[in-house]
Amino acid sequence: MTFSQLSAKKVSWSIGDTRIVDNISHAFRAGAVTGLLGPNGSGKSSLVRLLSGLNSPASGLVELDGRSIGSLGSRQRARTMAVMDQHHGTSQPTSVRQAVALGRIPHRSLLGGEHVVDRQIVGSVLSALDLTDFADRDLDTLSGGERQRVHIARALVQQPRVLLVDEPTNHLDIKAQFDILAILRQVATQAGSDNFSGTEAPTVVVALHDLNLAARYCDQLILLCEGRVVAAGKVQEVLTPANIRKVYGVDAAVMSHPVTGEFMVALAPLTHSAQTDQAHPVSQQRAATRGSEAAHSASVPAR
């Protein structure tokens, strides 16, 4: 297993007195997709912003290639790491090719224009993401899924070795959600292809809401709750019914998909008695009735 260029070391961050990210350490794996999971407000987006250097941690360190991300020059950082954030509207009519070509900015000087090699890279990423036919269309005329592909393309022409993506599947239809995550998966496993990055296997980190998408497309998962890591590791180790109940407050069962046989999660609201329980600290009695798994849940360490 290859550990990558990107790691968080005891990273914490607050807004006012509220801890948003609390003492998170993790070495992200290269050549793999790592999913960040957790309910709203669990710190997923904040962690992405800290990893990207957009916010500086109050304490702790984010390291890229063994150097603190704050100490890297902006351009040097942007040549190594690309970020796809959640908000990217624009007020100006922008063509697909133009939007994608923005990703070449870190690779040129302040005054530099587009070179032949820039156009080649943009062209090959457009065709790799099936966007060539849209290249001269205005971004506003695209569907949500197509537009999201454009933003991934922009990140890819940066030729990053680390790709951070914050909830890329929001508001997309189901097939588009699969498509987007399939692309990210492909990026992570395409080490050495000059299409995407250098010789090293890329590190992909993606914040997600949908547990089954995460199960299907991620190699590693980090489950966050109130800014802390509740569980981290392989999909089946992280997505246990106990963890899901603890973090999301819903009932969960894990099973094999009836057709594909893949690991999947079935979810349901907590039963009535469970809801009353949730209002109070989880009772020992309830933990006992749920059997060994719930007992395990109560004893899962908070990291």
Partner 1 sequence: MTAVKQVDSSAHYVPPVDHLVRGGFAWRRVLVTSGVLCALVVTVVFTVMIGPAQLSAGEVWASILHHLGLGGFAGGVEISALRDAMVWELRLPRVLTAGAVGAGLALCGVIMQSLTRNPLADPYLLGLSSGASLGAVIVLLFAVGVALPIAAFSGALLALVGSLTLARSMGAVTPVRTILAGLAISQVCSAGVSFIIFWSASGDSYRQVLAWLMGSLGGASWSTVAIAGGALVVIGVPLMVSGNILDAFTFGEASAHSLGIRVEAWRWGLLIAVAVLTGSLVSVSGAIGFVGIIIPHAVRLLVGTGHRLLLPLSAACGAVFLMWCDTLARTIFDPREIPVGVITAAVGAPLFAFVLYRTKAGEA
Looking at 2, 10, 173, 182, which residue binds partner 1 (CB under 8 A)? Answer: 182
Please work out, in degrees rounded to the nearest 5, the angle formed at the alpha carbon of residue 163 by the alpha carbons of 228 and 118. 160
* Distance in angstroms (rounded) separating the CA atoms of residues 85 and 165: 6
* By the rule CB under 8 A, 293 interacts with partner 1: no
Q: How far is the CB of 136 from partner 1 (least distance, A)?
A: 6
Q: Are the C-beta atoms of 37 and 44 separated by less than 8 Å?
A: yes
Q: How far is the CB of 301 from partner 1 (least distance, A)?
A: 34
Piece in contact with partner 1 (CB under 8 A), picked from 67-75, 206-214, 219-227, 294-302: 67-75
* Distance in angstroms (rounded) separating the CA atoms of residues 125 and 102: 13
Looking at 22, 118, 167, 179, which residue binds partner 1 (CB under 8 A)? Answer: 179
Burial (CB < 10 A; 0-12, 13-18, 19+), residue 247, is: buried
Q: Looking at beta carbons only, is 194 or 262 nearer to partner 1? A: 194
Q: Looking at beta carbons only, is 84 or 224 nearer to partner 1? A: 84
Burial (CB < 10 A; 0-12, 13-18, 19+), residue 74, is: exposed
Contacts of 195 (CB under 8 A, 6+ apart): 124, 125, 128
Residues that bind partner 1 (CB under 8 A): 49, 52-54, 73-79, 81-85, 87-95, 97-99, 102-103, 105-106, 108, 110-113, 119-120, 123-124, 126-130, 132, 135-136, 138, 140-141, 151, 155, 158, 178-179, 182-183, 186-187, 190, 193-195
